């Protein structure tokens, strides 16, 4: 009855795992010890809580795991002659945290209506200290792909997960015990930055999703050309996965493309703080913050050698209060390397007081001589 109600609420997959220590916890600790989490300090801060979901709900008996397919075909994006920044599919629609959390809370309300007010539960959508893919495997929803994504044999890997930890002794589903990746390494070979250092092992510090979202500083110079035109997240390892060849479009209206699914790169450079907050109010892209999206747009426009962006890049170089934005604007101008771009880089070098930005300007000028 619980699983049926979950499907009625809009989950494409739903399963039940026992409330216990996640089986992959030691691999998570190894991943941390290798420093693959980069600046994601939250991955380490609550590591003890991740050891067992009963640390989150002491009398927990079961973990209900729901998955929603978010795949939308590329042709559903609006066409435009303007250069666009790529956004990961999961962020094309309304913020998935909001969407899945409502479904999980409705499921908890159903359990309470069915069994009584003694039912307790905690819902998590990608924000709490829970190894959610581990519980998804234990709930029978799929296996760990070599790209570290959960893969379901019918739906592929374009899945968003949510968990409801409850004190109700629900019967657990059989775990998914077999990997179906075989000898395939397409995801590993396709990753432009080499973030997949081995099957099932991701060095987040090199991942385009990390670089464009989680990284709060400068994108390493050697990785900027490899990012292409991604401005928020990345789908490459999923796009090449054979299990996604027959991916079915999502039934969830909230995940259909919104205006932020395809962003004009030059327009991004002009965004004010107020415009940013208004445009991305219900979007996952708000996590990147205005300066982060502009930083990413500078890299994308530099990779495109987009001459039309020079006047706006010059404005950012001279006037933006954030030195990270000025640094990446300088890099982009160095890649575009028109006479105006080079002239403005030289002018900025005389006025710039931030040493990191000055070094970027010098490097960019040296590369075009």
Q: Which residue has the higher pLDDT, 14 or 78?
A: 14
CATH number at residue 282: 1.25.10.10
In a domain, 191, yes or no: no
| Residue 267 pLDDT grade (very low, low, confident, very high; cuts 50, 70, 90) | very high
In a domain, 282, yes or no: yes
pLDDT digits (tens, 9 = 90+) for 19-63: 999 999 999 999 999 999 999 999 988 888 899 999 999 999 999
Residue 255: the pLDDT is: 96
pLDDT digits (tens, 9 = 90+) for 293-324: 999 999 999 999 999 999 999 999 999 999 99
In a domain, 304, yes or no: yes
pLDDT digits (tens, 9 = 90+) for 53-81: 999 999 999 999 999 999 999 888 877 78
In a domain, 75, yes or no: no
Q: DSSP letters of 261-330?
A: GSEEHHHHTT--HHHHHHHTTTSGGGGGHHHHHHHHHHHHHHHHT-GGGHHHHHHHHHH-S-HHHHHHHH
In a domain, 79, yes or no: no
The residue range of the domain holding 107 is 2-70+92-166
In a domain, 141, yes or no: yes
Looking at 147, 166, 185, the residue that finishes a domain is 166
83's tokens: 């250069």
pLDDT digits (tens, 9 = 90+) for 134-174: 999 999 999 999 999 999 999 999 999 999 999 999 999 99
Judged by phi (left if over 0) then psi (alpha if -120 to 50, else beta), residue 247 lies in: beta
Total domains present in the chain: 2
Residue 77: the pLDDT is: 85
Alpha helices (H) along the chain:
2-8, 25-33, 42-45, 96-115, 132-138, 186-190, 208-209, 236-239, 265-268, 273-279, 289-304, 310-319, 323-336, 339-351, 355-368
Residue 324: the pLDDT is: 98
Please identify every residue annotated as catalytic. Answer: 126
Rounded Cα distance, 12 and 167, in Å: 24
Looking at 139, 166, 193, the residue that finishes a domain is 166
Question: Percent of the chain beyond pLDDT 70?
Answer: 100
Residue 78: the pLDDT is: 77
């Amino acid at each position: 009855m619980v699983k049926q109600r979950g499907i009625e609420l809009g989950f494409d997959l739903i399963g039940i795992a026992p409330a216990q220590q996640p089986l992959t916890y030691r691999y998570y600790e190894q991943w941390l010890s290798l420093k693959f989490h980069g600046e994601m300090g939250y991955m380490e801060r609550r590591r003890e809580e991740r050891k067992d979901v009963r640390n989150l709900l002491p009398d927990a008996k079961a973990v209900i795991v729901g998955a929603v397919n978010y795949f939308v075909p590329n042709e559903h994006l609006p066409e435009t002659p303007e250069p666009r920044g790529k956004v990961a599919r999961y962020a094309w629609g309304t913020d998935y945290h909001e969407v899945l959390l409502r479904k999980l809370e409705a499921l908890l309300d159903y359990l309470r209506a069915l069994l009584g007010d003694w039912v307790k539960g905690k819902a998590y959508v990608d924000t709490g200290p829970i190894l959610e893919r581990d519980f998804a495997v234990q709930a029978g929803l799929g296996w760990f792909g070599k790209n570290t994504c959960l893969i379901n044999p019918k739906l592929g890997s374009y899945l968003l997960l949510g968990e409801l930890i409850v004190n109700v002794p629900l019967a657990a589903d059989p775990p998914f015990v077999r990997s179906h990746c075989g000898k395939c390494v397409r995801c590993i070979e396709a990753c432009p930055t080499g973030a997949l250092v081995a099957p099932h092992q991701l060095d987040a510090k090199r991942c385009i999703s990390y670089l464009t979202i989680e990284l709060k500083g400068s994108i390493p110079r050697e990785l900027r050309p490899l990012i292409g035109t991604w401005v928020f997240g990345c789908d490459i390892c999923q796009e090449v996965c054979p299990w996604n060849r027959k991916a079915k479009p999502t039934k969830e209206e909230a995940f259909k493309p919104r205006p932020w699914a395809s962003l004009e790169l030059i327009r991004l450079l002009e965004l004010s703080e107020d415009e940013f907050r208004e445009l991305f109010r219900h979007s996952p892209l708000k996590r990147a913050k205005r300066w982060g999206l502009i930083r990413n747009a500078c890299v994308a426009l530099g990779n495109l050698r987009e001459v039309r962006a020079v006047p706006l890049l010059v404005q950012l170089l001279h006037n933006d209060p954030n030195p990270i934005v000025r640094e990446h604007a300088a890099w982009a101008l160095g890649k575009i390397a028109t006479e105006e771009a080079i002239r403005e880089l030289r002018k900025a070098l005389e006025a710039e007081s931030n040493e990191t930005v000055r070094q970027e300007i010098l490097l960019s000028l040296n590369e075009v001589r």
